[in-house]
Amino acid sequence: ELLEDMRDNFEQGLVPLSVYNDPELSEVELDRVFNRNWVFLAHESEIPEPGDYVLRTIGEDPWIVVRDESGTIRVLLDSCRHRGAQVCRADKGNTSHFRCPYHGWTYKNSGDLAGVPHRVESYRELDLKQWGLVKAPHVDTHRGLVFACLAADPPELSEYLGGIAWYLDVHLALTEFEVLGDPHRWVVGANWKIGAENFAGDSYHTESVHRSVVEVSLFPSILLKHGVAAQGKRHISGLGGHAANLNHDVGAPEEAQFWGYPSEVTEQFDAEGMDPAQYELAKWSKLSTGTVFPNLSYLCSAFVDAPGRPPGTVLMLRQWQPRGPAAMELWSWILVPKGASDEYKDRVARVATASFSPSGNFEEDDTAIWSTIARTAGSRYARSENLKLNYQMGMPGMAEIERDENWRGPGVALMSDLEDGGQRTVQRRWIEEMLRP
């Protein structure tokens, strides 16, 4: 009912508040959104060697992402085929085999069952080949990002990503990136969709929510001059459920180019690997965010860890992992150019932790508010009165926002970031997936 109400009101830009805290919808999402779309799991640099593994989730279910002895990345359901116990006992590590703690069934890191205690006397007929760990049917990577899809017959990953790949590559094709440290992860008392929508294009909130960090000078001055106040604000939609938000400033001085990366990093950027339009956009970019449906987002900007300190440019991947209707586990990876100096990488780690992390100034501004949405969305009154939220900003009839006809990237580029198009794109795709039988 709530879902139909969401669909019926979508064209008017009205969204039922209860959608952001509904136990039934959050059950259906696990099947229809998470278990049949391509879902991000890890960055390849987290598992460079054979035997390296990390434990991740698709929806709420545990999956092991492991590089097997032949170098192939496998995604294995972390559930022993004997009685179902989890066989992976750490968040990450290196192993040739996973040995189940319950009765000792032992699997190779390819998932194949290798050993069963007392097999000869008790299971003579057991066919080991039939009792390997369950493998995700589809695993693929895009520039180091590892994705899996559990649907039987999904589109290829490249087709699924479509135009958003172009915007990801504005970052990822510049040079080789690696994950710095372990991903931060913590629980936020809010529905996962709020995070996905926010990064898809809620530029509107920054002036209000993040005003205080600007006031205490936690935003580098170079960005204020050439970034936040820049002319080139674009919201990109028309990417089939994915969306991007860009802030660029053509003609900015060198220290403000490429999101403020220092010259020791920009020297290593390689225009060859990308379309000239992508390189051009990277060069003038100050701040980018985006969402890859359903629950992967990215952010790139410079921050400082304390007023007056030198800035560091943070490229971050974030994942909004559902944990019931009113909670998510937020995962956040810091990506740095592999060729940067250790000194610069240290600075980026500090700056990223001070801005977007469980102890980050920007982060707390957002997440403290998001959890109040979960509270009101779960209220009896919102449900009984069928309260609607307003997602009408910039809609035809509300504002005349011009389309950038000279835009060289995929999708529709609007020449303002004060509009709800990116967030509506995510919602539209969500409705489609939820209604697809």
Interacting residue ranges for Fe ion, rule: CB under 5 A: 366
Rg (CA), the chain: 23
Look at residue 82 and give the partner it binds from ligand FES, Fe ion, none, a contact being a CB closer than 5 to 8 Å depending on partner kind: ligand FES
Q: Which is nearer to ligand FES, 48 or 104 (CB)?
A: 104
Q: Which is nearer to Fe ion, 285 or 297 (CB)?
A: 297
Q: Which is nearer to Fe ion, 366 or 433 (CB)?
A: 366
Residue 97, phi then psi, degrees to nearest 5: -140, 150
List, in sequence order, every residue forming a beta bridge with 94; answer none if it has no partner: 52
List, in sequence order, every residue forming a beta bridge with 337; answer none if it has no partner: 177
CB of 123 to ligand FES, least distance (A): 12
Residue type, 356: F
For residue 294, whether the previous peptide bond is cis, meaning omega lies within 30 degrees of 0, is yes
Distance between CA atoms of 230 and 52, rounded to whole angstroms?
43
Q: Which is nearer to Fe ion, 197 or 366 (CB)?
A: 366
Residue type, 396: P
CB of 103 to ligand FES, least distance (A): 3
Structure tokens given for 240: 């089939």
369-406 per-residue burial string, b: 16 or more CB within 10 A, e: under 16: ebbebbeebbeeebbeeebbbebbbbbeeeeebeebee
Look at residue 199 and give the partner it binds from ligand FES, Fe ion, none, a contact being a CB closer than 5 to 8 Å depending on partner kind: none
CB of 202 to Fe ion, least distance (A): 7
Q: Which is nearer to ligand FES, 80 or 296 (CB)?
A: 80
Distance between CA atoms of 382 and 266, rounded to whole angstroms?
50
Distance between CA atoms of 338 and 349, rounded to whole angstroms?
14
Q: Which is nearer to ligand FES, 77 or 161 (CB)?
A: 77
DSSP element (H, E) containing 408? none
Residues 6+ apart with CB under 8 A from 21: 191, 325, 326, 373, 374, 375, 377, 378
Look at residue 83 and give the partner it binds from ligand FES, Fe ion, none, a contact being a CB closer than 5 to 8 Å depending on partner kind: ligand FES
CB of 104 to ligand FES, least distance (A): 6
Distance between CA atoms of 425 and 290, rounded to whole angstroms?
12
Residue 18 is given by DSSP the state G
Give the DSSP letter string of 231-288.
Answer: SEEEEEEEETTEEEEEEE-TT--GGGSGGG--HHHHTT--GGGS-HHHHHHHHHEEEE
Q: Which is nearer to ligand FES, 88 or 334 (CB)?
A: 88
CB of 112 to ligand FES, least distance (A): 15
Look at residue 147 and give the partner it binds from Fe ion, ligand FES, none, a contact being a CB closer than 5 to 8 Å depending on partner kind: none
Does residue 228 sit in helix, strand or coil?
helix
How far apart are the two ends of the chain, measured CA to CA in Å? 15
Look at residue 366 and give the partner it binds from Fe ion, ligand FES, none, a contact being a CB closer than 5 to 8 Å depending on partner kind: Fe ion
CB of 435 to ligand FES, least distance (A): 38
CB of 47 to ligand FES, least distance (A): 24
CB of 299 to Fe ion, least distance (A): 9
Distance between CA atoms of 35 and 295, rounded to whole angstroms?
12
Binding site for ligand FES (CB under 6 A): 80, 82-83, 85, 100, 102-105
Look at residue 105 and give the partner it binds from ligand FES, Fe ion, none, a contact being a CB closer than 5 to 8 Å depending on partner kind: ligand FES
CB of 216 to Fe ion, least distance (A): 16
Look at residue 408 and give the partner it binds from Fe ion, ligand FES, none, a contact being a CB closer than 5 to 8 Å depending on partner kind: none
Dihedral sign for Cα atoms in the order 265, 271, 274, 277:
positive
Q: Which is nearer to Fe ion, 87 or 296 (CB)?
A: 296
CB of 219 to ligand FES, least distance (A): 51
Q: Which is nearer to ligand FES, 83 or 408 (CB)?
A: 83
